Amino acid sequence: MAWARASFKGQGVWAEVDGDGAPVVTAGRIAVRYSDKAGATIYQAGAGRVEPSGKPPVELPAGAPADETRAPASAAVNSEVRAGQPASRSGRGSGFGSAGTRTAAQATAAKAAATAQVSAAANAVRCFTDGACTGNPGPAGAGLVVKFADGRVVEKHRALGFATNNVGELAGIEMALDELDAAAVEPDAEAVIFSDSQYARGVLTQGWKAKANVELIAAIRVRLRARPGVVLQWVAGHVGLAENERADALARRGVDESRRR
């Protein structure tokens, strides 16, 4: 992961950047860290408050996401941590709140952002994935909707037996890669995997340290590296995005099958 020096609310930080040194903006946020040391806490800061220094990017050791069960290392990011999120490693600051507790304004903004993200990928293979379980851990499943540029649509689900919701989210992404392979999509071909799991995006592409599901995560990382044309994109879940809702329904079909095993 590449980082470059920047300023956030008057304080020096490292900001996540792409290969050209441009800040990586996701849902209006940029990942920032105050330390270049391994294990440094990574926060999500409002893009408008991060000022790049123009200095060249460097590779830094993996960090760890801000744990919302404790206060941030700096009061400067306190207002940037998303309110109303569960205290978990998946609770990254999107500004959209969490499904089921969003305000009307948050829901409207989240749907607009998700719709824009999907529309921007109109010329790519678009994969929508989701995971679900009852009990966490409990009977689990994964769902997938793939929309090819030629209009072809593929829908699949998978029963995962007794597992966690995070396993379901990862399995959905794994299914998307399986479908790209099955359809003989070239590794360099543009494809976007849309997931509403910040956890999955974090452990697969943001350098989050994985304490569970290590082998599955490592295997998916290898497959993503083998497909440079693939982008893993986070979208807010349960905001009325048709493909996301369908992937959720398919994942729950997998849950039902796991329950009957």
List active site positions: 130-131, 169, 196, 238, 248
Take residue 53 and report the two structure tokens written for it: 């220094």
DSSP secondary structure letter of residue 78: G
Strands 138-147 and 125-133: antiparallel
Residue 141's Cβ-count burial label (10 Å; 0-12, 13-18, 19+) is buried
Cα 207 to Cα 124: distance, rounded to the nearest angstrom: 25
C-alpha triplet 233, 166, 238: angle, nearest 5°: 55
- Map tokens 């995005």 to a residue: 241
CB crowding 163-189: b at 16 or more within 10 Å, else e: bbbbbbbbbbbbbbbebbeeeebeeeb
What single DSSP character describes residue 238?
S
